[in-house]
Amino acid sequence: MDNQEQEQIHQILNSAYFYLKFRPRTEKEVRDYLLKKSEKRHWRSDTIEKAVSSLKENDFVNDNDFVEWFVHQRISGKPKSVFALQHELQKLGVEKDIITAYFGENPLNEEQLAYDTLKRKWSRFKIIDKKERFKKTVAFLANRGFNFAIIKSTFEKLENNE
């Protein structure tokens, strides 16, 4: 590795560290970010790959850890169904087998998740008539990826607990 390539890797890693300081990222996100930066900086793609490999070796980029972090963030902030989470993770570039393995080892109780999510909004929903309340419930939970069976049972639980 010549001096120029070493300097370029150093610049690439500095850009990557800056990008990673805000939140964890997937390998694809980091690679895409660096490739976009390379348009202005004229970094070679093989040098970017060396930098990405270095980030992975030093555990700055780890898609398995990212999935765990991402799911925890979503569940505690804006809960979504497993289907919706899987879709978001795939869009971020996480491989399907990593996603499947995570949810296989860490199954989510979607009924409880839907219940907890709707319960936060229920005080606003219960002041409207039942038909409109059901429509709003369906729209709200379907928007977060929950299937109709879970939406219906969640609505009935909250409706009966009033």
73 & 45 share domain: no
92 & 118 share domain: no
Rounded Cα gap, residues 128 and 118, in angstroms: 15
| Segments in the chain forming alpha helices (H) | 3-20, 27-41, 45-57, 63-76, 82-91, 96-105, 110-125, 130-143, 148-160
Based on the structure, what is the number of domains in the chain?
A: 3
Q: What is the pTM of this model?
A: 0.86
CA 29 to chain centre: 12
138 & 122 share domain: yes
81 & 51 share domain: no
Q: What confidence tens digit (pLDDT) does each residue in 68-82 have?
A: 999 999 999 889 999
Of 89, 105, 121, which marks where a domain is finished?
105
Rounded Cα gap, residues 83 and 104, in angstroms: 13
Tens of pLDDT, residue by residue, the chain (162 residues):
678 888 888 999 999 999 999 999 999 999 999 999 998 988 988 999 999 999 999 999 999 999 999 999 999 988 999 999 999 999 999 999 999 999 999 999 999 999 999 999 998 988 899 999 999 999 999 999 999 999 999 999 998 875
9 & 25 share domain: yes
Identify the domain containing residue 136 by its residue range: 110-160
Tokens of 73: 């963030």
Q: CB 152: neighbour CB atoms within 10 A?
A: 15
Q: What confidence tens digit (pLDDT) does each residue in 8-31 have?
A: 889 999 999 999 999 999 999 999
9 & 50 share domain: yes
